[in-house]
Structure 1
Amino acid sequence: MFARLTTTAAVLALSAGAAFAQQTDITIGMQLEPPNLDPTGGAAAAIDEVVYANVFEGLTRYNADGSISPALAETWDVSEDGLTYTFHLRDGVTFHDGTTMDAEDVKFSLDRARAEDSTNAQKALFAGIDTVEVVDPLTVEVTLSAPNSAFPTNMAWGDAVIVAPETAADAATNPVGTGPFMFDEWVKGDRVELVAYSDYWGEAPALDSATFKFISDPTAAFAAMMAGDIDAFPVYPAPETLAQFEADPRFEVIVGSTEGETILAMNNADEVLSDVRVREAIAHAIDRQEIIDGAMFGYGTPIGTHFAPHYPFYVDLTDQSDHDPEEARALLDEAGHGDGLTLSLKLPPPTYARRGGEIIAAQLREVGIDTEIENLEWAQWLEQVFRGKDFDLTIVSHTEPMDINIYARPDYYFQYDNPEFQALMDEIALATDEEERAALFEQAQRMIADDYVNGFLFQLARTGVANANIEGLWENAPTQANDLTGVRWTQ
């Protein structure tokens, strides 16, 4: 009898222990599946959302509050003339295949990113590098062709992570980095699985494994969260259902800001859209608040230029392109399109684009512009619009931080070519005085607003849903990432 009681008590104790054991796995929902897993060779934000800070690391990194801190570079020195950065690397860092990460890997990564045949989507980040020299295994000297006060920030982008020459070529399908998690499996069309890397140089993560589950349909995303199949959906695609999660104590709704300037991008090299009067007409045809309310259920901040409102240098220029259908019709008539015109509108998968596209199409129709809507999958959009520049109009959110400099790239997909703006970006790169930088950034914002380069819509809000027992998820998105390094279950 005593033996039976002891055995029963032991079973109950084990059961209780199991019930209160700390959960160490997590399933993260994402609407878009990345086209590959190499942040140094792809433009899709979904790549960084899986691998940034989790699998891959750079010399520096973004923190949750938008600040920049050391990563693989423990410290760095800057020469008096601002041209030479000497990075002192952490000792004892290894890649996930067990090989040592050292100065040769840094030189390889930076030289590869700036090479003539580089496929890096942000190649401009590395254009100012003159030379990269290995001083010793833990010291790298980077010399710039001109001073650039933003260089440590540039090195924090996902496009600037450090890869090894032995594994870089396979990073798209088998990424090997130095982060706290290592790649385990990619089931195409379904999920990517990561596991904790036992020899990580820094503080070990609280999680043992993480699964990124891809659910493109907003209704399915809602059902998966409610069923507990997904633990957190940091960029939740169905804002119309957030109120239901707010009323349910099992969940926490996390609303923050992003770097995502959402724009109606226009092909400035197109015969019709090369006329600034047509672009201005389109801008005045747009009712931003109607788009925010209809597509985003009120989540979003109107913008009148390509700059995030949470930055101190932001200038509110929304009045310059306010909703004025009468002015839009007059401009179209002046440009020779009084009888109307038809433009293509190619939309990628995100909710803001598909829902926003329908609203914008109706608004344009009111002033005499018909649109031929074509819904594209993400890979198609990247190929046709981003790389092929085969479009008239498209809607996309640019989630890279402080990226107004893309307007200084004539070969960028919307093909805005203004030498005056390009010279202005060069001035900003050299400026170190805050007042001078503020004045230059204001000038830059006004210049692209005056040229009506794109239809500036709204700053994308970050609306997320998570199990209430999870802590450490980013509220804001200073870069495109689902950083799991500080995420843990509280019970």
Structure 2
Amino acid sequence: MKSFKGWSLVAFTLTILLIVSGCSDSASGDSTREMGDKSGRGSGNGKDKLVIGLDDDPPQLDPHLSSTAVDRQVLHSLFDKLVDIDEDMNIVPKLAKDWDISDDNQTYTFYLQEGVVFHDGTPFNAEAVKFNFDRMLDPAMGSPRYGEVEQVEQVNVIDELTVEVQLKTPFSPFLGDLTDRAGMMLSPTAVKESGEDFSRHPVGTGPYQFVERELQSHIKVSRFDEYWGEPAIIKDVLYKPYTDENIRLTNLISGDVDMITVVGFKDIKKIEGNSAVKLSAKEGRGFLGLHLNPAKAPFNNKDFREAINIAIDRQAITNVVYHGAALPAVSAFPPASWAHNPSLEVPKGDLTKAKSLLEKSGIKDPSFTIKVKPVETDKQMAEMVQSMLQEIGVTVNVEMQEIGSLLSSAIAGDYEALYLGWDGRTDPDGSVSRFFMSNGYNNYAKVNNPEIDKLLTDARVSLDQEERKKIYQRFSEVVFDEANYIFLVHIDENKAMKTNVNGFIHYPDGMIRPDRIYFD
């Protein structure tokens, strides 16, 4: 039995143990406690409402049904998870204060925090944990979380504060998956009472409780006075959607918005040059790139795919489209990820070699269409690729589709090339298996490579990070060589806020946890 006692999976050395203990939830708030009264309630200037500008109106406030990033920004105030991440992506305690993993890596025993209650006053306990897992696993539920918990064989209540989760097979990404919506705990009583309307009256154990919602206007949450942990500093948080990034920025600079979750790349210089606001940037964990469909010509020709891969100048795209707020990509894993392969070099637009590969392919007068979302950055990217490939004699057409239609095209395999990415996950598996395993949920081109399947399966079974690192490095080499997906950029994760907003901790997952924020 391996006893982790709440520490990160990678915390096997004293140094890492010290880092994790210094980044626990209670410690992370220390720098914000200079203001307000000793309870941490209120803020230094008397302002007690934080207004957060979102990039869209959240479709879903039920974590088990959520499938968008904007949902998550609100959910983090309402729902605690069994485990969370710290600033270095280590897994740390939350509702589960300790945990053990059996020697065969298939049984996780969670020891729960005492004295935790849901916003409706009902107790959080082992029975509630079992209820949440059972709900996500119910086929009738159709939960987007199912793929993250499908390895769960059964959940056993040991006692009121101890719960045992048995997996079908060893699955090393399990704890990482629980740092997102799969680990958020919903009130069983509220779910049973609200039924399909739970999203309209969400009830969790988080530092804030739901107050009201007006579609396309705002979502209001208020400090939960019976919170089990350190109480939220600011009393009320108001989330307001602004789909137009210009309007969103204007409201930040001169309106009543205190911070925004998404910053337009073209606006970064404006923010850096404005004394009323400040920018917080962190290297992103996701990726953007081109799906190439090997089931359709000309991408059924590997030489042609390779030619496209090396002809594209990623650095130019980074500079022009993303205004330097990105890194050129060559795999799913950015340099900040422990799974990154430093031996893979990012192509710099080698037109001579690309022309040679194109000639080797035997394809005459090649052309294809890229499908992209109708947003400025995607359009600019496509136009740059169009211009670059014209230099080697390839004609590229650009077709814009709304995100719903684009995803439908991807799922149906109705495309030659399309531009989509992923925002990354705590565990590397969550960023790649869904796209590159033969049975992956997002394997849009239905690529079937036995070596990739074996590598990713082996990585899921091992709990040894060094072993997994070697596996993912080899995986990245194979995927680059196959060139069914052309990795282009890792975009930075940017947040902007008024200068009087303090205490914000920029976590790698990009989610705002508002309870430690305060005003000067």
* TM tier, smaller: 0.7 to 0.9
Alignment of 1:116-195 (within 5 A): 116-117=139-140, 119-163=142-186, 164=188, 165-166=191-192, 167=194, 169-195=196-222
Specify the alignment match of 2:475 in structure 1: 444
Specify the alignment match of 1:301 in structure 2: 327
Give 5+ residue unaligned stretches, structure 2: 1-41
In structure 1, distance between residues paired with 2:415 and 2:183? 29
TM-score, normalised with respect to structure 1 = 0.86
**Which of 243, 256, 268 lines up with 1:242 in the alignment?**
268
Q: Which is further off, 212-221 or 202-211?
A: 212-221
**Which of 71, 80, 102 lines up with 2:125 in the alignment?**
102
Shift of 1:235: 2.6
SS at match of 1:485: helix
Matched, 1:481 2:511: yes
Shift of 1:143: 1.1
In structure 2, distance between residues paired with 1:127 and 1:50? 25
Q: In the alignment, residue 50 of structure 2 is paired with which amino acid? A: I
Alignment of 1:6-25 (within 5 A): 21-25=45-49
Q: Which is further off, 297-306 or 364-373?
A: 364-373
Q: In the alignment, residue 247 of structure 1 is paired with which amino acid? A: G
**Which of 229, 246, 264 lines up with 2:256 in the alignment?**
229
Matched, 1:467 2:498: yes
Over 3 Å counting, the alpha-carbon distance change for 1:391 and 1:32 in structure 2 is: farther
Is contact 2:100-2:108 (8 Å) kept? yes
In structure 2, distance between residues paired with 1:184 and 1:397? 34
Q: Which is further off, 386-395 or 339-348?
A: 386-395
Shift of 1:388: 4.9
Specify the alignment match of 1:400 in structure 2: 424
Q: In the alignment, residue 485 of structure 1 is paired with which amino acid? A: D
Shift of 1:426: 1.8
Is contact 1:303-1:456 (8 Å) kept? yes
Aligned sequence identity (%)? 25
Is contact 2:368-2:417 (8 Å) kept? no
Shift of 1:295: 1.3
Deviation track 1:236-273 (CA, whole Å, cap 9, x = no partner) reads 11x33333332333222212112121222334544543
SS at match of 2:284: strand
Over 3 Å counting, the alpha-carbon distance change for 1:141 and 1:211 in structure 2 is: same
Q: In the alignment, residue 93 of structure 1 is paired with which amino acid? A: V
Deviation track 1:78-108 (CA, whole Å, cap 9, x = no partner) reads 2233221111222332223333322222222
Over 3 Å counting, the alpha-carbon distance change for 1:259 and 1:273 in structure 2 is: same
Shift of 1:329: 4.6
SS at match of 1:296: coil
Over 3 Å counting, the alpha-carbon distance change for 1:207 and 1:421 in structure 2 is: same
TM-score, normalised with respect to structure 2 = 0.81
Deviation track 1:190-227 (CA, whole Å, cap 9, x = no partner) reads 43332222322221111212122222223223322221
Give 4+ residue runs of structure 1 displaced > 6 Å after superposition.
none
**Which of 432, 446, 455 lines up with 1:424 in the alignment?**
455
In structure 2, distance between residues paired with 1:99 and 1:465? 37
Q: In the alignment, residue 87 of structure 2 is paired with which amino acid? A: A
Is contact 1:329-1:338 (8 Å) kept? no
Alignment of 1:310-459 (within 5 A): 310-316=336-342, 319=345, 321-332=347-358, 334-335=360-361, 337-347=363-373, 349=375, 352-366=377-391, 367-376=393-402, 378-382=403-407, 384-385=408-409, 387-401=411-425, 402=428, 403-406=431-434, 407-408=436-437, 409-414=439-444, 415-459=446-490
**Which of 282, 286, 290 lines up with 1:260 in the alignment?**
286
Over 3 Å counting, the alpha-carbon distance change for 1:210 and 1:62 in structure 2 is: same
Is contact 1:24-1:208 (8 Å) kept? yes
SS at match of 2:286: strand
In structure 2, distance between residues paired with 1:292 and 1:118? 41
In structure 1, distance between residues paired with 2:212 and 2:308? 45
In structure 1, distance between residues paired with 2:70 and 2:313? 29
Over 3 Å counting, the alpha-carbon distance change for 1:168 and 1:275 in structure 2 is: farther
Is contact 2:372-2:378 (8 Å) kept? no
In structure 2, distance between residues paired with 1:321 and 1:153? 31
Shift of 1:443: 0.9
**Which of 113, 117, 137 lines up with 2:136 in the alignment?**
113
Shift of 1:286: 1.9
Deviation track 1:28-65 (CA, whole Å, cap 9, x = no partner) reads 1222333322332233222212213x112221112333
Matched, 1:44 2:68: yes
In structure 2, distance between residues paired with 1:28 and 1:70? 27
Is contact 1:343-1:393 (8 Å) kept? yes
Give 5+ residue unaligned stretches, structure 1: 1-17
Matched, 1:29 2:73: no
Specify the alignment match of 2:305 in structure 1: 279
Specify the alignment match of 2:12 in structure 1: none
